[in-house]
Each structure stands twice: as C-alpha cells, then as structure tokens.
Amino acid sequence: MTGASDSSRIVVNGLSKDFGRGIKAVDQLSFTVEPGSVTGFLGPNGAGKTTTLRMLLGLVNPSAGTATIGGQAYRDITNPLTRVGASLEASSYHPARTGLNHLRILCAAAGLPDSRADAVIAQVGLGDAAKRKVRGYSLGMRQRLGLAAALIGDPGVLILDEPANGLDPDGIRWLRGFFRHLAAEGRSVLVSSHQLNEIQEVADRVVILDRGRLVRSGSIDELTAGTDVVRVHTPTPQPFAAALAAAGLGVVELAPGVLDIRGGPVELVGHLAFVNGIELHQLSGSRANLEDLFFALTQGAHQALPQRPPAPQPRVGGVQ
Amino acid sequence: MIGNLLRAEYRKFTSTQVWFWMLLVCVALTSAFTAGQIGGTKYDDELQSNVRDVLLSATGGFTYIPLFVLGVLSVTTEYRYQTITPTVLATPSRWTIIFVKTIATALVGIVYALICLIVELAIALPWLATRHVHVDLPSQVGTLASAFVVLALFALVGLGAGALIKNQIVAVTVGVIFVAFLDHIVLIIPGVKHIYPYLLSGATNAITVSPHDDHTINGVTLLSVGGGIAVLVVWGLVMAVLGAGITMNRDIT
C-alpha cells in the first residue's frame, strides 16, 4: 500500500454531469478527500453519488469539471488497480466464473501474482466459497467479492459504492470492522452508504449531496457543532429559564418543569443551576447525530436541527 | 503491459465453458459437412474431382458462424454481465482494451481454425482412401490455407461487430443475417451487385474460389485471394476501431 500521501488525495473540482434533457445528475460539485482519511459520501437516492464515483473512476465522462486522484485523472494512472481500488456494484461478475477466477483475471491484468487473489478472498471471508461459481453467491457474498477486488492491488485509495447493500447484520458488523481496519492502515477511503450509523462510527469526514449539489462537507464534529441540546427537569422552571436567558442561552419549556436549552454545553447549564440555587431532577445533554444531520440537510430543514419527536408548544419566557 | 492483459483475456476465455461448447459446435459442423461432402458423392471418380470441395468443407459448412459468434462474445459478454466495469477499471483506455481483444481473438481464431482443419483431415483422408481417392496434400496446401484464413478472420470480424454493437443478440443476429442472406441478395440486385466483392461473402468467395474457376459470380468479378483477405481484415478492424471510439467510449453506467 502506498500509505497516506498526496498521491492518494482525491480532488473533485466543479464536476458536472448532464445526461441530456437538461437533467443534471451532478452539478458543480467540489470536495476533497484527504489522504489517510475515511470519508462518507452521503445523499438520498438519485443525489448523484454513483455518477460522481463513476466520473472519478473514468467510467462516465463529465460534462464539466475535473476529478483527480493524486493529481491525475483515473484514465491517466498507470496500472490503476495498484493505486485505486473500487467496488461499485454487486453485479459485475460473469455468473459462470468462480469468485477466485474473477480475482485472478484482475491479478493477471495488473501484473500481480495469483497469491494476491487467494489473500484478498480470504481477507473478506470468502475463502470457503472461492471455487464456487458466482451465480451461487448471495448478494452479501458478491459485495464481499467486490471488496476483495478493490483490495487486489493493495491500493492506497479505496472507492466503495454502497458496500453494505445486501449485507445481513453480521455482514454489517463485519464491514464496520473492515472499515476500521482499512482506516488503521492509513488508506484513503471514500465510501457512499445509506448505513449512516456505520458511517458515523468510522468516517472522519462526510460529504453530503442532494440533487447533484454539495449540501455540506466537513468532519462530523464540525457539522454537528452548535446542535447541543441540554434537557433539565426542575420544579422551578421560571427562575431558571430567566437565569439561562440572561446567560444568552435559548430555552424552550417542553412541558411543565421540562426545559430544552440550546447554545451551551451541559457543563455550563449545570454550573448556572448551581450558582443560581436551582434544584434539578435531571440534567442531560445530547448532540445531533449523523442521521439527524443527514435528514435535516437533505430535506431542506437544517434549521430544525436536531430533530426530535413533536413537542408541546413553549409555555414560558424562552428566548428562543 | 500488453502481455499481462493478454493473460487476463486468456483467463476470461478459459474460466467459463463457452470456449468448450463453441469448439464442440465448430468440430460438429466441420465433421458434418465433411461427411456430407464425401458421403453425398455417389461415385468415386466424381469424388476424386471434388477433393478441393471436400477440403473446403471446414468453411463451406457454416463453421465460420461459431467463430464469428466467438468474436462477438469477446466484447458483448463484458456488457451483458457488466464485467466491462472491472475491465475498464483495470485498463481505462478503451483503445488498449480493443487492441488486446483483437490480438486475443485472432489467436483464438487461429487455434480453432487449426483444430477444424485437423478434424476435417482426420475424417476426410482415411475415408477418401477407402473410396480409392488419392489426395496430393502438397498440392492442396493453398486450399487448406484459404479455409484456415477464412475461419480465423471471421473471429476477427465477430470481434468488430461485437465492439460496434454491444448487445450480444443483436450483434450475432445482424452478423449472421448479413453473411447468410443480405450479401447474397445484393448479388442479384443489378444496380448494387458490384459492391458484392467488398462484402463478407464476396471476400470469402474470393479467398476460397478455385484458382481454376473464373473469378466471377453472377457477372460480378471477385477480388484476388489477397484482396479477399484484406477485405475481411478491414471489416474486422474498422468495426473494432469504430466500436472502441464510439460504442465503448460511451458512459458505463
């Protein structure tokens, strides 16, 4: 593996794809995947994720813009399987070919020894099925075979499109560990997925698309910053709400004696209760997770962060 | 790099059973038409004068069709099963892909054509001997070579058709209809029949026609043997180049 270096930086700059009739699958998309990071590539169905990944890999010709890996377009990379591994769909196999032979063909094309095929098929847990024809593979097994194909050249960059599709809970757990393993090895990973919880656990950064456009990119901490909500239960909500408002925090009374406070961490709220002599029965903090963020951003409701179950109308003097 | 890609093509070819079944069809057709030529000729004297036709059985018996299909499958299978995606990921240049497939298909065509000729001779020579027909093999080298060339080149033509028309069924159907029917229909249409020598059937006839016959069919003069070979090569290569430049260069979605 090449390790984390500029040769594995992915730069997408002003990328657009128009499939005709004025429908833009991707529209002026720009983002960067830093070397040695795991980046989640998120968006609802039809957001343009797969088209973007295919443009990055030279399978689809962009209408405008550029996509490079280590400063080179994929088409210009010599022996690309040793620099970039990709797993795009679980159906790119000849059904009458064995999984091992599929990988050995890639070994031959990349000038790699056949032992690489044996190694990666074992790495993804398909060693026992290596000599079975792909037509007998389940969708989850095909996904694993796709991951094995991506790893065949021991590349520093991995581009994975929905690798969790078709995996059962065991497979998803395995995939989580697999991502961690890849990240620990210092590979740059760009992974599109609908498994938001899995992405949250393994991704350093996320790129969120909607209708072909970039909605937001950054680390999960950056994107969820400012979404802290502290909930308190107190028998004296009125004076505490006033004290909180005086400290510049937003307060909403959800129910008698139940306050949601925004704009400050749980430590600050606890401190204000202490210095104002307020009795608290509960003090808890929460922050929007990736799922909250994703739905808010892709439904045009960012201002509603974090999403919660419907709450009663505010009753007391919140500054909200 | 080309050596690696040829090795990959060899593995694609041998890792399914298509190669075996197509070879079986080639051998069966060669055997059937060789047997038909010998068995269907009643008199030994007549057979002696038809030795050339017997030795052309390998091409006369539609054996070129499975070789054409084999060439078509070399490209269209990649699209049918979407293996074109890993193929392009390993080799982003469509020109390199088609160049390697052209070499690989030509080699496959040569091997299959040789096997067909061996099968033909294995059936014909002992059988003709029992009919007291003498075969002077050195004088028939040209005949055997023309059968061999036609078979091998039809694999190349198939590759071109497959690159240009990536749908497997459409490519095979269009190719067979052209060679088996439309080319011959052209021959009977007064205004356009002079293009016949430049069509696949016309070129095939130019290669296989007896040097002792006049080189005309229905008033149309055929090309020389070299001209016929050139026409088949050009058909295969032009379609392959157009396929790589247009069809295969389209988005793979």
Q: For B20-78, write each residue's pLDDT tens digit.
A: 999 999 999 999 999 998 988 888 888 888 888 888 887 777 888 899 999 999 999 99
Q: Is A92 on the interface with B (CB under 8 A)?
A: yes
Q: What is the mean pLDDT of residues B168-184?
A: 88
Q: Tens digits of per-residue pLDDT, A106-152? A: 999 999 999 999 999 999 999 999 999 999 999 989 999 999 999 99
CATH 3.40.50.300 fits A6-222, yes or no: yes
The answer to whether B128 and B40 have CB atoms below 8 angstroms apart is no
Q: Give the pLDDT of residue A5.
A: 60
Residue A174's pLDDT is: 83
Confidence bin at A178 (pLDDT 50/70/90): confident
Q: What percent of chain B has pLDDT over 90?
A: 49
Q: Which of A84, A104, A105, A107 to mutate to test the interface with B (most CBs of B within 10 A)?
A: A105
Q: Using CA atoms, how far apart are residues A243 and A247, in angstroms rounded to an integer?
A: 6
Contact A127/B at CB under 8 A = no
Residue B205, pLDDT above cutoff 80: yes
**Residue B65's CB: how many other CB atoms inside 10 A?**
19
Band (pLDDT 50/70/90 cuts) for residue B210 is: confident
This model of the complex carries an ipTM of 0.88
What is the pLDDT at residue A300? Answer: 53
CB-nearest to A110 from B81, B90, B251 is B90
Mean pLDDT of all residues in A55-66: 95
pLDDT exceeds cutoff 60 at B131: yes
pLDDT at A316 over 70: no
B154, amino acid identity: F
Give yes or no for residue A63 having a pLDDT over 50: yes
Q: Looking at the predicted structure, is the pLDDT value of residue B182 above 90? A: no
CB contact under 8 A, B253 and A60: yes
pLDDT for B58 equals 78
Distance from CA of B28 to the nearest CA of A (A): 24
Q: Which of B117, B143, B153, B149 is nearest to B31 (CA)?
A: B117
CB atoms within 10 A of CB A222: 12
Q: Cα B222–B210–B220 angle (5° rounding)?
A: 20
Contact: B11, A95; criterion CB under 8 Å: no
Q: How far is the C-alpha of A204 from the C-alpha of A223, rounded, in Å?
A: 12
Read off the pLDDT band of B219 (50, 70, 90).
Answer: confident
- Predicted pLDDT of residue A275: 93
* pLDDT score of A285: 84
Inter-chain CB proximity A105 and B8 less than 8 Å: yes
Give the minimum alpha-carbon distance from B22 to chain A in angstroms, rounded to a whole number: 15
pLDDT at A310: 37
Query: What is the pLDDT, as a whole number, of residue B176?
Result: 86
pLDDT bracket for residue A319 (50, 70, 90) = very low
The single-letter code of the amino acid at B22 is M
Task: Say whether pLDDT at A312 is over 80.
Answer: no
Rounded to whole angstroms, what are the CA distances from B190 to A169, B179, B193? 71, 19, 6
Average pLDDT, chain A: 85
Q: Which CATH number fits domain A225-304: 1.10.357.10, 3.10.450.50, 1.20.1080.10, 3.30.70.100?
A: 3.30.70.100
Q: Quote the CA–CA distance of B157 and B71 in Å, as a whole number.
A: 7
Percent of chain A with pLDDT over 70: 92
- pLDDT bracket for residue A1 (50, 70, 90): low
Specify the domain boundaries for CATH 3.30.70.100 within chain A.
225-304
- Return the number of other C-beta atoms located less than 10 Å from residue A67's C-beta: 23
Min distance A55 CA to chain B CA atoms (Å): 9
CB contact under 8 A, B4 and A108: yes
If phi > 0 it is left, if psi is from -120 to 50 it is alpha, else beta; for residue A36 that is left
Mean of the per-residue pLDDT values of chain B = 89
Nearest chain A Cα to B79, which residue?
Answer: A92
Instruction: With CB atoms and an 8 Å threshold, state whether B89 touches A91.
Output: no
Residue with the larger pLDDT of the pair A58 and A286:
A58
Is the confidence at residue A6, as pLDDT, over 80? no
Q: CA of A202, closest CA in chain B: separation in Å?
A: 26
Instruction: Locate CATH 3.40.50.300 in chain A.
Output: 6-222
Q: What is the pLDDT of residues A91-114, one digit of tens each?
A: 789 999 999 999 999 999 999 999
Query: Residue A317: pLDDT above 50?
Result: no
Confidence of residue A304 (pLDDT cuts 50, 70, 90): very low
Chain A positions in Cβ-Cβ contact with residue B75 (cut-off 8 Å): none
How close, in Å, is residue B238 to chain A by CA atoms?
A: 24
Q: Which of B7, B77, B89 is the best mutation test for A, with the most CBs of A within 10 A? A: B89
pLDDT at A90 over 80: no
Chain B environment of A80 (Cβ under 8 Å): 89-90, 92
CB contact (8 A) between residue B4 and residue A111: yes
DSSP 3-state of B183: helix
Chain B residue with the nearest C-alpha to that of A88: B85
